[in-house]
Structure 1
Amino acid sequence: MERGSLVEALKRYPELWPEARALLETASELAAGLPPEPVPEGLEARVLRRIRRVRPSWGRPLLAAAAVLLLVALGYGAYFGLSWTLALREPSTQVLALVSPEGVPVGRTIILRDGRALVVLKAPRPSGRVYQAWGLGEGAPIPLSTFRLPLKTFRLPPEAKALAVSLEPPGGSRRPTDIIGLPRP
């Protein structure tokens, strides 16, 4: 009997459903009791060849590139950290606390003799704002670059002897609006 005819008969005579279910269960039990069919000779090798052809071959090069990038990043991080740590041994290196106008510590700045400076802040910036560094000397604060992460290096202008940090709108400001860190020895 064709499937279509069987479905039509079961619709017309719903009382046949219990017998149809019983027949399906018996057929299933019979099928489960049959010995497995042997796998044709060479089928596994053919399937594996097809998979290897279809599978992209970029997996290993991508993994190798990721490993190289990780090693480079780790090496740069180690060099960066070591160079600033070694600079702390120099007598001309200044380490200044950055404190809020209320006197609460917010970070540190390290200033080297050649004018390079490292700022390390304790807390992330609020959303929609950026940090901006300011060179401090004899006159008005000198606007330096803005930054988003709480770790940044700068080159101070020759007239600047210290560094302050403020929170500004994206793009920065010409004058500090919300100072969060002032230098204190």
Structure 2
Amino acid sequence: MLDRHQLTSDLLADYALGFLSPEEAAEVEAALDLHPQAREELNAYLNGLTDLVMDLGPSPVPDGAEDRLMARLNADLAAPTHTRATAAPAPQAAAPAPTPLQVPARRPWLYPVLAVAAAAALAVVLLPTLRGTPHDLAYYQRQPGSVTTPIRTPAGQTVAQVVRLTDGHAYVRMQASVPSGRAYQAWKIENGKPVSLGLFKGQNYVAALPAGTVFAVTVEPETGSDQPTTTPLFANAI
């Protein structure tokens, strides 16, 4: 299991841009559940990519641009890396050591290019998660096998809608926005204690949550809190 110090900004960027293998990505996802500050950093990075999409505007993509981009990326990924001179091998090779999780080599020119490409993909895949538009709830409700559950107060007022997806994710749409200078903070309740799942300033939150997770939302300072400082708007098994 990765610790907080191993969840570097470079590793989170590689995860967001899809540079990691499925095994490495799964290891990062498992560590994010234990380190809410790293998840907040990842969310900030994804929000930055989303803002990039919004700033670009609806410019048409030139003909052949996708093929040229993929050809350039494939050529770069296939290029051999620089190696050090090594001594002649021993007559009998030692057993290979386990390969640790490694961050792919940084390519300064590649990140601005991939940021635009990834942002374009995020506009389709992640924008409903990060932007509060009237179509967000409908988007998730249209996913095959999704189940929607309204969260209501004892008086019958709806405070949120939860959409459980078949891939293990849950989408939460809060009914109202938070006041200026405040933010929603998500929590899961484990052994009777709240564990932070990070902040979300809009009305939308999505995360991989096992079915039956006791999920709660509070209103906190926009910098977040180690423990809830207000009464939860709700705390329900989702």
TM-score after normalising by structure 2: 0.39
Query: Max radius of gyration: which structure?
Result: 1
Instruction: Give the structure with the larger strand fraction.
Output: 1
Query: Which one scores higher on RCO, CA 8 angstroms, separation ≥ 6?
Result: 1
Q: TM-score under structure 1 normalisation?
A: 0.48
